[in-house]
Amino acid sequence: MSSITNNNGGLPVSRPFYITTPIYYVNDRPHIGHSYTTVAADLMARFQRLCGREAFMLTGSDEHGTKIAEAAEAAGMKPQAFCDEVVEHYKRAWRDLDIDNNDFIRTTDKRHIEAFRKLLVVLKNSKTDDGQDVIYPGIYEGLYCTGCENFLTDKDLVDGVCPHHNIPPRQVKEKNYFFRLSSYLGKLRKMIETDQLIILPDERRREVIGLFDQGLNDFSLSRERVKWGIPLPFDDSQNAYVWIDALSNYITAIGYGADETNFKKWWYEAETVHFMAKDILKFHCIYWPAMLLAASLPLPNRIFLHGFFTIDGQRMAKSLHNQIDPGELVEKFGTDATRFLLLTQYPFGADGDIQRSRFVKQYNSALANDLGNLVSRVAKMITASFEGRLPGPADGLEGYQELIEQAEQLPETVGDHLRDFRITAAIDEIFSLVRAANRFFDLNAPWKLVKDGQSNKAGGVLYACAEVIRIVATLLHPLMPGKTREILTVFGLDDAVLNMNDARTFFCQKPETKITIKESIFPRLKNGEKKPPAPKSENLSENLIDIAEFGRVEMVTARILAAENVKGADKLLRLQIDLGHEKRQIVAGVAEHYRPEDIIDMNIIVVKNLKPAKIRGVESNGMLLAAHAGKKLVLVVPDGDIPPGSPVG
């Protein structure tokens, strides 16, 4: 299908746009590494929608294989139950970050398993161009790293351990089925070299070509010993190799083998883009396209592999205790500012370093001082000097034409950057217009113009700034969907203006529109200070929290195993509680209402994900629920004998 370009920054609009993130391992909770790719992909999909293009964004979870099975075992859980629990942390993180994914695929979904097994049958029945079986049985003997879920060679090791996971690989020898990669290497290399499969950035493309030069072997696509996986349809003594299972999510989610129309639309007709970091290059740029070739399916159009970031100069790892939970950032900075901070630490695509200590400074400088201040000063002055009604444009202002030109050029520039995934460059351009508008405001000093009786000119300054704000809010919408809506609301605008045609046109807003600003869009933060809580309103509906906020509170049932008074604290009991898969100590202020011996063995409900706190010197890891019945405090208890650890929601 041919694509047309129109006035939307040169982006093709006739084809739908399909973008994917990696499906993340659910052996542990999400950290900001996962968030980084997911926010970037969400931004890209939202930008395409802004351009009037239909966009589908997919993310999900990779749930099979040894790594997950071992994590489940360590937690004392069955793999499926473990995955069910951990996947909720991912879903919650994506809600917290306002990710507008169209689907979330789990490799344990029935729809995935069925479609994947169909793909395996297709591969099993396929022949290479020279008539050989694509899949053939063989014996694999070698080293295996469960961290990578991949076979390694001696060359890959550093001091005898896997350099990525710092663990020694296992020696394995087993019967496997192999995928005849060697038969597809020539064709694939050519497709990459001629940009039929575009690999970005160029450095990664060169890396992939380098892999062909080093030589690549057929790979084994099944495991005899790995019990947590999808059985091969043609030999159920073997489970599919987790990577083969995982890669196929990109087509099973959109209807491969199940919904031909949907699959055709999103895999054949759409522009397809895979986003990820460079760590999983070989799987995506070699194995996956080769599998698609073998199954006679089209290849994705573009694969973008961004860099890896360190935290304060160190690799991010659980063992180093430096992983940052996206929820922690959202709590401190809010959803949109977190999205902004994640994507602006270093150029998107390159390797970088994230320093926690920079976050507050950067929030204050770009969001509070530049953007927030522009919105506040313009809206406040319209309120104070123009009775809250947007004044009309005026001529004869300093730097007026330059500002208009910069604003009118911006959608084109941002479109160009985003088409090539230069996300940080696009954001920089937008903020450069914000700063230009602040300078324009200072240069023309509308407050002085009002004093000097030149209200018409002062109004013109405000109108021009209001137009810049509208254009900036539109272009920043894919990055900060919530805050940009708030900004538009200040100017009496709504989603109707969120499109590239309006963004390209200066002089869109209607004079006389009511402007309403109550509080700063981005309140300044002091270093170490939390985002100020929203003021309690008299209006009940304004006190409501949304479901995503509530969803962050994890509550479970628990059984009280032991209870004792806390010395020197009349109100406190120290409780040992059973949460099903773990035991914890909590401190509860119920000693005036319950004697320790009365509450042992009671089933209660506790909030599980509170940060640990010391109460009168005693560590408390959670909080129980109790109701205030007049002066009495009564424990909230589940109805029935529910096993400890059952989620409450």
Residues forming the site for ligand MSP (CB under 6 A): 22-25, 33-34, 36-37, 62, 246-247, 249, 276-277, 279-280, 308-309, 316
User: DSSP string spanning 558-609?
Assistant: EEEEEEEEETTEEEEEEEEEE-SS-EEEEEES-TTT--HHHHTT-EEEEE--
Identify which of residues 255 and 391 has a Cβ nearer to ligand MSP in the complex: 255
Shortest Cβ 271–ligand MSP spacing (Å) = 19
Start-to-end Cα distance in the chain? 47
Crossing angle of the two packed helices 326-333 and 32-50, in degrees rounded to 10: 60
Shortest reach from residue 253's CB to ligand MSP, in Å: 11
- The full DSSP string for 511-570 is TT-B----S-SS----TTPPPPPPPP-SSHHHH---HHHHHT--EEEEEEEEEEEETTEE
Residue pair 306/352 in contact by the 8 Å Cβ criterion: no
Backbone angles phi, psi at 536, to 5 degrees: -70, 135
Structure tokens belonging to residue 385: 């000097």
Q: Which tokens in the block code for residue 86?
A: 């951990």
Residue 56 or 309 with smaller CB distance to ligand MSP = 309
- How near is the Cβ of 468 to ligand MSP at its closest, in Å? 33
Give min distance, CB of 244 to ligand MSP, in A.
10
Q: Compute the least distance from the CB of residue 31 to ligand MSP, in Å.
A: 7
Burial string for 590-611 (b: 16+ CB within 10 Å, else e) reads: bbebbeeeebeebbbbbebeee
Closest approach of Cβ 149 to ligand MSP, in Å?
8
Give whichever of 24 and 386 is closer to ligand MSP, judged by the CB atom.
Answer: 24
Contact assessment for residue 105 and residue 252, using Cβ atoms and an 8 Å cutoff: yes
Would you say 62 or 429 has its CB closer to ligand MSP? 62
How many other CB atoms are there within 10 angstroms of residue 133's CB atom? 16
Give the alpha-carbon dihedral of 276, 279, 285, 287, to 10 degrees.
-120
32 vs 329: CA distance, rounded Å: 9
Residue 246 CB burial class (10 angstroms; 0-12, 13-18, ≥19): buried
- Which spans in 75-167 are helix H? 79-96, 110-124
Cα 375 to the center of its chain, rounded Å? 28
Select the residue whose beta carbon is closest to ligand MSP and give its number.
Answer: 33
Nearest CB to ligand MSP, comparing residues 306 and 584: 306
Q: Which is nearer to ligand MSP, 94 or 386 (CB)?
A: 94
DSSP assignment of 254-300 equals TTTTT-HHHHIIIIIISEEEEEEEGGGHHIIIIIHHHHHHHTT-PPP
By beta-carbon proximity to ligand MSP, the closer residue of 253 and 375 is: 253
CB of 162 to ligand MSP, least distance (A): 14
| 245 contacts: CB under 8 Å, gap ≥ 6 | 62, 64, 65, 107, 116, 229, 230
Beta carbon of residue 394, minimum distance to ligand MSP (angstroms, whole number): 48
235-240 and 222-223 beta bridge pairing? antiparallel
Return the number of the residue (316 or 607) whose C-beta is nearest ligand MSP. Answer: 316
Closest approach of Cβ 71 to ligand MSP, in Å? 12
H helix or E strand, kind and range, residue 428: helix 423-444
Nearer to ligand MSP, 314 or 516 (CB): 314
Closer residue to ligand MSP in complex, CB, 208/450: 208
Kindly state the DSSP code that residue 193 receives in the 8-state scheme: H
Question: What interhelical angle do 373-385 and 481-490 show, nearest 10?
Answer: 20
Q: Closer to ligand MSP at the Cβ: 31 or 180?
A: 31
Shorter beta-carbon distance to ligand MSP: residue 200 or 316: 316
**Residue 123 Cβ, how far from ligand MSP at the closest point, in Å?**
17
Tokens of 84: 């069910």
Provide the minimum distance between the beta carbon of 308 and ligand MSP in the complex, in angstroms, as a whole number: 4
- Our CB check for ligand MSP shows the closer of 326 and 622 to be 326
CB 141 to ligand MSP: min, Å: 25
DSSP structure class, residue 425: H
In the complex, minimum distance from the CB of residue 38 to ligand MSP, in angstroms, rounded to a whole number: 8
Going by C-alpha positions, the residue among 442, 435, 422 that lies closest to residue 367 is: 435
